[in-house]
Chains A and B, each alone.
Chain A
Amino acid sequence: MTSRSSLFRAALRIPPSCIVFVVLLVTLWVLRPNMMNPAILGTFARQVVPLGIVVLGQLLVISSRSIDLSAGGIILLVNYLISSGLLYSWPLLPIVLLCLGVGLAVGLVNGLLVGKRRASAVIVTLAINIVLIGLVEYLANGKPPGDVPAEFHALYNLRFWTIPAPVMFWIALAGIMSAFLGVSVFGRFVWSIGSNPTSAHFSGVPVERTVVIAHVISGLMSAVAALVQTSSIAVGSVRFGPELVMNSIAATILGGVVFGRPAEVWGPFVGVLCFALLFVVMTTMGVQEPGKLIVQGLIILLAAIFYGLRSKSN
């Protein structure tokens, strides 16, 4: 009995994303063995790079017991800034810096309202999101989206050996985030708040400031994700965002980061890879858009129930 329950506990400690990843990989291998080659899998992985980058920020805010639903709005705004032609004469670097600045600014507003003003994070980021979407749609109204500068697209299609450049970039960014959380004081603060905000307060952790910074980083990550997302398409578009936010929460939770658990980068990283595989598996199995939504919803729900059960068993 004890050995079985300890085995059960050990199984609970592995992030669910790893298990799901293995299951999906096996499924794909059975269904389409010819797809199991690095070039094709790399292309699949490339599709989820924007999601993966958003998740790097989302895991920070979720671990600090907050949430960020504004990624869609930021991506839309950055996409508009690049493709509208407003900045057509600008060189690449200032455009990138401007976009990152937009992400930082939105993140800061989110953070101040959530951390300092103590407003509900869901509502704040949701409201910011609809403000941004409305703004972009208003600005873009009537005008067809313009072209994305060619440099972006060239960068997107670059491959090192067989690995696409965006995937390399994502892995590097995840590595940096993981290292940052591991070695910086900020990482300790996020872990502490994730584990117990009251204890964090009594330990002298600046809880409010940490939440603000987590939101700023999350905003920045959304802007970076927007740059990658924009590079992937030749012309601007106003039709993405919402499902990306849903997926970022799903991947984070699947990766073992839930409210009140220490932030961890690689669990959610694998969670994002799960989504890459999931899209492929569902497409090969002929599952349409509705099916995908249902599966995503189920994944979030089951992962959350999994943690609910675990917190009860402790």
Chain B
Amino acid sequence: MAVSDSAAKEIQAPDEQSEAIRVTDLHKSFGSLEVLKGVSLTAHKGDVVAIIGGSGSGKSTFLRCINFLETPTSGQIVVNGEEILMRADGTPVKRRQIERVRTRLGMVFQAFNLWTHRTLLENVIEVPIHVLKVPRAEAIEKAKILLDRVGLGDKADTFPSYLSGGQQQRAAIARALAVDPSVMLFDEPTSALDPELVGEVLTVIRDLAAEGRTMLLVTHEMKFAREVATHVVYLFEGCIEEQGPPAELFGNPKSARLQQFLQTVG
């Protein structure tokens, strides 16, 4: 079992070593609008958790709360056994701790967000050199390997604006891999891409899944989620409506809302 609901959280203690991320009873409100209404989720090492749901279901917000790009309203977040200390209002107690935890969470954005004033290689070595203090030569060597791996070895000295969306997103994945993340967070990585470019990005993500990387993946690609995920979570209006192994969730959805959702997205 990859994911527990909140009722089962007490019996997880022996499992702690293998836990990559544990989120307990996460709430998030924007003003009076409550976007997350108590979401709990545990990802173990090697899990690929796909988070699906309709527009406004809170799936992106949930992912962004894990690395505090959004400040949760309440709840508990544990990354690699380290609990992120929050005040009563959800703001982190120590920015240093957030920064340290974030360096272990490689995030890939919907809009790529490659740094436009730097070449691909500079994008990939930026965090290793200036945050993780890796020696420059070592960072460059590793970055070249990573760019090769995502098929962009020949574009190392190119600026992001000269590349297609698919190439930019693959470079963004290389940038995330450069920090040796313990968990990768994908926030709708293919939603901003032209249809013919989706495949090349999914291929890269599929390879990462195959090598056993821990990943949380917010996606609209149902076929892909079914293929690569070890666990699927369906969010509806800020709550986990249904979750389980992909074959079960897609093959035999129990909740009426999920059935309807799967029908509309085809």
Q: Do A and B bind each other?
A: no
Residues on A lying within 8 angstroms of B by beta carbon are none
